[in-house]
Amino acid sequence: MNRSLQSQPKPPAASVLLIVAVLWVATVVSALGVVATTQLVRRDVNSLETLRREAAQLQVQWGQYLLEQSTWAAYGRVENAAISELNMMAPTPEDIVMISGDRIIDGRGQAQAPAAGGQ
């Protein structure tokens, strides 16, 4: 049994050194890859957080615009602007005309003939 162990040739020192060198280079390349990937992830996380902050600010701004829009569109304000700036007024009952299908009813409740040629 001792002879079988002794009869196996030992690898030359140069091949062992080559294997160690290749493994060392692979380890260094792998470490550099980890460092580069970590840096890219940090950069992307920072960009993501910046975009999230911007989205939150835009959401607040959108809410403010909705509030402003509802203020400008309030019924009382629109009515006052229509009266003061455009000289508009509510129609009298005599001025109201209802159209129902092919019938036209004036403000006094009387049916009128439809316009000629209109359908």
Residue 1: CB atoms within 10 A of its CB come to 5
pLDDT of residue 58: 98
* Pair (119, 79) in one structural domain: no
Mean local confidence (pLDDT), 12-34? 95
* pLDDT over 70 (residue 115): no
Q: What total of structural domains would you count in the chain?
A: 2
Q: Is 111 strand, coil or helix?
A: strand
The parent domain of residue 116 ranges over 92-119
Q: Quick check: 119 pLDDT over 60?
A: no
3 belongs to a structural domain: no
Residues 19 and 73 reside in one and the same domain = yes
Residues 107 and 67 in one domain: no
- The reply to whether 106 falls in a domain is yes
Identify whether 55 is part of a domain. Answer: yes
Please report the pLDDT score of residue 3 as a whole number. Answer: 59
Q: Is 20 in the same domain as 61? A: yes
| Most trustworthy range by pLDDT among 57-61, 73-77, 83-87 | 57-61
Burial (Cβ within 10 Å: 0-12, 13-18, ≥19) of residue 69: exposed
- Is residue 8 situated within a structural domain? no
